[in-house]
A and B are shown apart, each in its own frame.
Chain A
Amino acid sequence: IINMIINMLKQWYQRRVRGSFKNHEMDPFLLKKIPKDTVSRLEEFALYLRENKKERRSYVSVVKTVNVFRDLICTADWVTARELIKIIKCYCKYLPLSQSNETDVSNVVRRILKIIREENAGPEATNLADGISAFFKSDMKPSNLGRSDLQDNILNSIVELLVELDTSKSNIINMALEHIHSNERILTYGHSNTIRDFLLHGRRARDFEVIVCESGPSLQGHRMAAELSAGGIKTTVIADSAAFAIIHAVNKVIIGTHTIMADGALRAANGVHQLAMAAKYFSVPVIVCAALYKLSPTHLCSYDPDAFNKVIGPENMLNFSNAKLHSKVL
């Protein structure tokens, strides 16, 4: 009993000191519904997102997300779709999804929630003509399916989702020949796996040149150029500042992006905006290749780093060894 009292006091104290449990521990409601080994996998995934490596591939995190949620659906304790959605939303509060660059993960979670609602609505699935609110309320109706049937349907749809994600890149790549013509000069920016494979696929049938902007300070463009020239494409590397100088001599600009916002705007690597401006000035077409999971229903609310951008340490720009300057410059 004394131990119990001490534990309770400890928890109360920690909660007071650390603030809301949302930041560090899972909601006790959630912990009740999920078996222990799943909890450790869920925590691992949250840690993976929190680590936030800047070179993390969208596709890898999206597939990981689907697998984690599939795990959650199978092992959690739920009977109706409504309970399941509540569990998922509770878990999402624990994930660092409010960070602006987690749009790929958020989009996939939205897809999964949509799958659950659709399966729950059953054969007379609400179409959007009834209104979006009717669709979102559809999980309130208890469906005739029991948990195991509903779960089977949901898991089947999730497998279809995984297949769609798997083939999304190859579907884009297969369109390469429609957009690349012989003896063209194509400008691209930095590094993108989709664009690299797009161009390499085009190389199989056409002969063209690629100009890559090196995208300082990370110099991802150098990596792209090395991969493209290894694949047999004549590549030229230029500095980002030379983009305006060279763009009038280019036939088209093909870029990848991180997210496509609801109004058609792009959240892409840092210098892409100025590249697009230069292309517009000279009326050079800009083609963006991105998979469906990058389409996000969010709008741009502000340019501040907190809401929209990510600011990383300046050691790539100004060496810390130049400390005298470092301390004075913003």
Chain B
Amino acid sequence: KQWYQRRVRGHSQTHSSCFQNIYLAGKSITEKAVNRIVNGDTILIFKKSQLILHILLEAKAQNKEFKVVVVDSRPDLSGVSSCERLTAAGIPCSYVYINSSTYIMKKVTKVMLAADALLANGYVLGPVGTAMMGLIANTYNKPVIVCCETYKFCERVQTDSILYNELADPDSMLKTLNAEESPVAGWRESPNTRLVNLVYDTTPPALVSIVITEIAELPCSSAPVVLRRGAVKM
């Protein structure tokens, strides 16, 4: 019977749990997050994230009037492509480096961050610099919205960024826009110099206002509840 059904229906995508957990989750989060964007907002995003861009483009498609500030950081500078996508859709966009985020934070109304994982103790694992955004937003009393699908919830517990992290290519830190050579270009020969290019960092739950997942909008501390419910099982 199963074999027959599979032949007739094709390998139906819509019933696959993979499809549900990943693709539909994204759509559900988008719906919830777009509801939180109002006219006249200035939204701050950090670097490039498929989910956040999807949310912003969807909000624009629903004819909401808002501005975006893209905060970017070295060495990968992925915020540039974020900017490109947003301006192509007609959303007014500002581009700053992470150093200027304290200056620009006063003019922002919301901060939307994407997560790479949500740990069991509520810490948010994201691209390096996310924690800094959360801290500055908190200092200026701006709401921090983290968008995260439930498949990213993780049973690991981590209190700081160094316990578990990844190192990306250190030579990419030497890249300069105006093609001058960096003074530490010869760092491998020098025994005293090291370049460390961290990939992730953890944001403490106190700095996050809300986490939007496809099942509900939760505070960070609800991460173990979601894990216990087994919503993560694929």
Contact = CB atoms under 8 A, between A and B. Distances in A.
Whether A and B are associated in the same complex: the answer reads yes
Nearest to A233: B192
Q: Which of A235, A322, A329 has the most B CB atoms < 10 Å from its CB?
A: A329
A25 interface: no
Interface residues on B, range: 35 or more
Contacts of B182: 219, 222
Contacts of A237: 173, 184, 187, 193-196
Contact of B80 (A233, A241, A325): A325
Given A222-B184, A274-B99, A278-B132, A315 B177 contact: yes
Interface string B163-180: 001000000011011100
Contacts of A328: 87, 93
Contacts of B84: 325
> What is the predominant secondary structure among interface residues of chain B facing chain A?
mixed
B102 A225 contact: no
A271 B183 contact: no
A244 B201 contact: yes
A244 B93 CA distance: 26
A225 B183 CA distance: 8
B122 interface: no
A192 to B, nearest CB: 15
B35 interface: no
A67 interface: no
B147 interface: no
Interface in B98-141: 98-103, 106, 128-129, 131-132, 135-136, 139
Interface of A: 214-217, 219, 222-223, 225-230, 232-246, 248-249, 269-271, 273-274, 277-278, 281, 303, 309, 315-319, 322, 325, 328-330
Given A232-B192, A240-B99, 8 more contacts: A216-B99, A237-B195, A239-B75, A239-B173, A240-B73, A274-B135, A330-B92, A330-B95
List 9 A-B pairs, minimum CB-CB distance, nearest first: A241-B129, A271-B99, A245-B161, A229-B192, A245-B201, A226-B183, A241-B73, A270-B99, A328-B87
13 contacts: A215-B99, A216-B98, A225-B183, A239-B173, A241-B98, A241-B132, A244-B161, A245-B165, A246-B161, A277-B139, A318-B95, A328-B93, A329-B93
